[in-house]
Structures are given as structure tokens and as C-alpha cells.
Amino acid sequence: MDKQKQIVMSGIRPTGFLHLGNYFGALRNYVRMQEEYTCYFMVADLHSLTTHPDTRELKENVNRVLAENIACGLDPEKVALYCQSHVPETAELYLYLNMLAYKGELEKTVTFKDKARLHPENVNAGLLTYPVLQTADIILHRAALVPVGKDQEQHLEMARNFVQRFNHRYGEIFPEPHAFNYGSELVKVPSLDGAGKMSKSENNLATLYLSDDDELIRKKVMKAKTDAGPTTPHSVKPDYIENIFQLMRLVSDQAVVESYETAFNNCTIRYGDLKKQLAEDMIRFISPIREKAEGIRNNAVYLRQVMEAGAEKARASARATMTKVRSAMGLNYY
């Protein structure tokens, strides 16, 4: 298939500061894909309402996510960079897809169960149907490739199920969307405390944000859990040490990683040195993004232009799809 014709779609919720997980799971792929595919990337403000109903900081958060997307290398001229709520066709497709999604499967979704456990006072219908809205986002542009991190794998599986049901019932309108990562496996960037993945709001000190200043990065990395070091050559790394190595593989030169691997294997490694090296390499990686994002964030006029132009491109594509959808569903009466 002609690569130019393949369509890419993905999104990020404006629920907090973007971090290294968002970069390596999603943004790094976006930046490469913009050169090869037709791309739609958005700020998922509607999804954020499922867990963050207070909208006082929403505008600022949306602007920050947009600025960080651009600072990471997205070019708004090459892609459609837009805000989810600016494409009302999303809501219409979400409605139709809801009739094809079953309560039982939605209740079994891991992200739903996690969020319901964390906030039992706010288990709303939007939370339950979150994967349906995500499917609408993707197939509204008839996208086949969805660059995301490992945590989104199940949502993509569900999207394929909804698409199969739609196509089976109403005709082959949509391609089946697949999670995508350059290389091979989907990425899961671990948190610095050795427990789980980095996330926007869970543990501020265990997450490296793209907005962290140099001192804060040093402080966070130096606090990462280690131990007295291995005593048997070529032993298996404990999870929290493997995590540090994994972070190092993302930002450090290969030769540097290899020298620490060797030191680990022959039991001469000094974890203080390992963390100092990681901190400096992180700073080298994060600081240019932080500085660029700060400049863009302060340029409200530019951000508005980006949002408007992005919405226009996204709506043109959404309108074309919805014409096909209504006709396939028999909702065109004249």
C-alpha cells in the first residue's frame, strides 16, 4: 500500500504535564510519521472530562500540550494538530458506535477498572464508554495507524472490535486501526521509583516531565532506588535497576550504556555514578524541549492560529467520513 495514503491518528489528554513516557510512547513516533503519512494529532480535551470535570485549568493545559507537541518537533504545517472538541463530528460518530459497544466488554476494560477503583465517587458513563470515544477519534479520519504507548493496546483492540461490528452491519467503511511504534514492541517507560509506568499525575517525583528544570531532574534521578550493587557476576538485574538502565537506553549514547552494563556484569558498578550520568543525559535531552515549549506557550496568537488551522483540516476529513457513515447506515432520507 502506498505509504502516502495511509492515515495516522493519535491524541494526548490535557490532564497534566507531559512526561518522558508520552514522548517515547507517542510523540517520538508522531515526529517521524509526519514525514511519511497523512497525520491527525489532537489534544483529547473531551476525554479529560471523564476524570477531570473541573475545567478552570483546561485552557492553560490545552495550550501547554499543544506547545509541547510542537516543541518536540511536530510541524503544524505538515500535520493536522487540533483540539478534540473543535470537531463536533466526533460526538456524532461516538453516538453511533455506542450502539455497537456492550456494557460487559466496557466494564472489563483495564483502564476503566483502574479509574473506577481510584475514584469510586465518579464512575460516570463517559468513563465507561471512553474506548468508544477513542475509537470515534481514530476512525473519524479512517486512520489505520495509531502511535501510542503500551498502555493503550487494549483500547486499540476494542477499536478493532467496534470497527468489525460496524463494517459487518453497515458495509466496509473503516480500516481496522492498529497501535504503532517504530521498531517493534509498544513502549512502556517505567517510573523512577521502580513501580509501574511514568504517568501524568500519579507520583510527581517518580516521573520526569518535559517541563522539569535541570536541578529537579538531578534531584529526581538521584532519588531513584538502588542497592549495594551485584555480588555475583552476570546476575539478573532487580526491577528498579533494570528500570534505570531502560531510561538510560532512551537518552544516553550506546557506548555509555554498554560501559555500565559491563560494570554491572563484573560487579564494579557504582550506582551513584550511573545516576549522575543518567541525570546529565536526561538534562541534555529534556532542556531544549522545555525551553522551546516555554517560548511557544507564551505566544497565544500563534497557538490560536495552529488550533484553528488544525481544526479546519480535521473537520474537512471528519465531514467526508460522516457523509459515508450516514449513507452506509441509511440515515440519508433525501
Residue from 49, 72, 198, 279 in contact with ligand TYM (CB under 6 A): 198
Q: Is 103 marked active-site?
A: no
Catalytic residue among 200, 225, 237, 292: 200
Among 8, 72, 81, 138, binds ligand TYM (CB under 6 A): 138
Q: Which of 7, 8, 17, 25 binds ligand TYM (CB under 6 A)?
A: 25
Does position 10 interact with ligand TYM (CB under 6 A)? The reply is yes
The answer to whether 146 contacts ligand TYM (rule: CB under 6 A) is: yes
Q: Which residues contact 24 (CB under 8 A, 6 or more apart)?
A: 149, 187, 189, 250
Task: Give yes or no for residue 152 binding ligand TYM (CB under 6 A).
Answer: yes
List the interface residues with ligand TYM, window 158-197 (CB under 6 A): 187-189, 197
Nearest to 329 by CA among 100, 138, 86, 104: 100
Shortest distance, CB of residue 253 to ligand TYM, whole angstroms?
A: 22
- Smallest separation, CB 116 to ligand TYM (Å): 15
Contact residue for ligand TYM among 87, 94, 144, 149 (CB under 6 A): 149
Shortest Å, Cβ 326 to ligand TYM: 22
> For the chain, how many residues are written?
334
CA dist 306 → 134, 162, 211, 291, 318 (Å): 22, 32, 21, 19, 18
- Our answer to whether residue 225 is catalytic in this structure is no
Query: Is 223 part of the annotated catalytic residue set?
Result: no
Q: Is 140 in the site for ligand TYM (CB under 6 A)?
A: no
Catalytic (active-site) positions = 115, 197, 200
- By CB under 6 A, name the binding residues for ligand TYM: 9-13, 21-22, 24-26, 44, 47, 134, 137-138, 146, 148-149, 151-152, 187-189, 197-199
